């Protein structure tokens, strides 16, 4: 659930770049990696607070209910 927005963004950018490479017949390897890395970093900046809030809520739920898990 946490990785879906960032991985989906990277996959969408990779798909667009691969279609662009197929249409123009440019087979440059760095053309695929750099835009995906930039898209993932932008996605981490954009979705980072939401991901952190989800992780903190999950961890708080585990620690709060820990005595119930032991029984």
* pLDDT at residue 42 greater than cutoff 90: yes
Distance of CA 50 to the CA centre of its chain: 12
The domain of 30 spans 4-70
Count of structural domains within the chain = 1
Spell out a b/e string for 22-58, using b for 16 or more CB atoms within 10 Å of the CB, else e. eeeeeeeeeebeebbeebeeebeeebeeebeeeeeee
Angle at the Cα of 48 from the Cα atoms of 46 and 7, rounded to 5 degrees: 80
Q: What is the mean pLDDT of residues 32-53?
A: 94
Other beta carbons less than 10 A from residue 9's beta carbon? 18
pTM: 0.77
């Amino acid at each position: 659930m946490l990785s879906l927005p960032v991985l989906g963004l990277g996959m969408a950018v990779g798909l667009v770049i691969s279609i662009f490479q197929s249409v123009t017949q440019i087979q440059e390897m760095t053309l695929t990696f750099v835009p995906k890395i930039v898209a993932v970093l932008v996605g981490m900046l954009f979705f980072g607070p939401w991901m952190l809030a989800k992780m903190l809520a999950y961890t708080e739920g585990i620690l709060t209910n820990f005595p119930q898990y032991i029984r």
